[in-house]
Amino acid sequence: MNEPTDSNHGVRVGFVGMGTMGVPMASNLVRAGFDVTVWNRTPDKCGPVVELGAQVAGSPEELARRSDIVVTCLTDAPQVHDVVFGSQGLADGLVAGSLLIDCSTISPLSAATFAEQLAKRGVAMLDAPVSGGSEGARLATLTILVGGDAVDVARARGVLGAMGTTVTHLGPIGTGQWAKAINQVILSGVYLGVAEGVTLGLKAGLDLEPIVAALSAGAAGSWVLSNRSSRMIDDDYPLGFKISLHRKDLAIALGLSEMVGAVLPVTTMAANFEDELIDQGHGDDDNSALARSIRKLSGL
């Protein structure tokens, strides 16, 4: 967890989006010593961050007027557009020289469009989607994938570093979102692979705990195997990252794949499984609930 520093003191940071990821991310900004103002469509969700010392704004516009740097962490591009460009939106309060860091997962095409619109107002934007789940958000160990101008990334380093341990500037605006799409594609295969391995072990009647520990140290090791296999074994999926949100991310990735002519059969399979799970009422389960589909096919 990051400690407060003198360089952060007095830097005004606004944070919009008090969801599963946003609350701990904003909380870590307060702990790091930033002067934090928050806003959420449902104000009650701001409570945990306010208890740490953050202030609450009455609208995104008000938050923007009280901030030098604004961070957004929202569901998808329509929500980002509404918060930034809607009535009493951030764009109405951001002044020339302000910086918007969007940590939402959206299409890179939307990120580029939003950045172009803000640039006309003299406002810079970075797309900075995150990976690491709710644990990473809470522990400030997120991986942050950044697209934008180098000078803006340098300005944002303190804020980004208070929320994550790996901050990588990948290229111009939209590059961070391309990287996040690739991340979600890879995770689709990993979740399915771990689910299949766990299911095979369960059907064989094996004690999977020592097997998982052994495999985690070898070539099959992954964050999913180490952190989500126990949920698959127990068939219990407390929230870390909603399966419905991962499905939204896969829609972005599949749309991009069609645009560039890439074929993603494993991702398509994962998306189909997720559609079934959402239809069955499991959309708010953790993404490891993909194992439900594999277990069901195997009679578990």
What distance separates the 2 farthest-apart alpha carbons in the chain?
63
Q: Is 15 in contact with 23 (CB distance < 8 Å)?
A: no
The catalytically annotated residue of 45, 120, 180, 203 is 180
What phi-psi label fits residue 39: left (phi over 0), alpha (psi between -120 and 50 degrees) or beta?
Answer: beta
* DSSP-derived secondary structure letter, 95: P
- What whole-number distance in Å separates Cα of residue 162 and Cα of residue 229? 29
User: CA torsion 250→149→29→227, rounded to 10°?
Assistant: 30
Instruction: Give me the amino acid identity at 133.
Output: G
- Give ∠ CA 139-142-148 in degrees, rounded to 5: 145
Write out the E strands in 3-132.
Answer: 12-16, 35-39, 55-56, 69-72, 99-102, 124-127, 130-131
Residue 154 has a CB neighbour count (10 Å cut-off) of 10
State the amino acid at position 197 in one-letter form. Answer: G
What is the rounded distance in angstroms from the CA atom of residue 19 to the CA atom of residue 75? 9
Long-range contacts formed by 192-197: CB under 8 A, 24+ apart: 192/266, 192/269, 192/270, 192/273, 192/290, 192/294, 194/222, 194/224, 194/225, 194/228, 194/229, 194/232, 194/291, 195/232, 195/288, 195/290, 195/291, 195/293, 195/294, 195/295, 196/294
Helix (H) or strand (E) holding 7: none
248 tagged catalytic: no
Catalytic center residues = 180
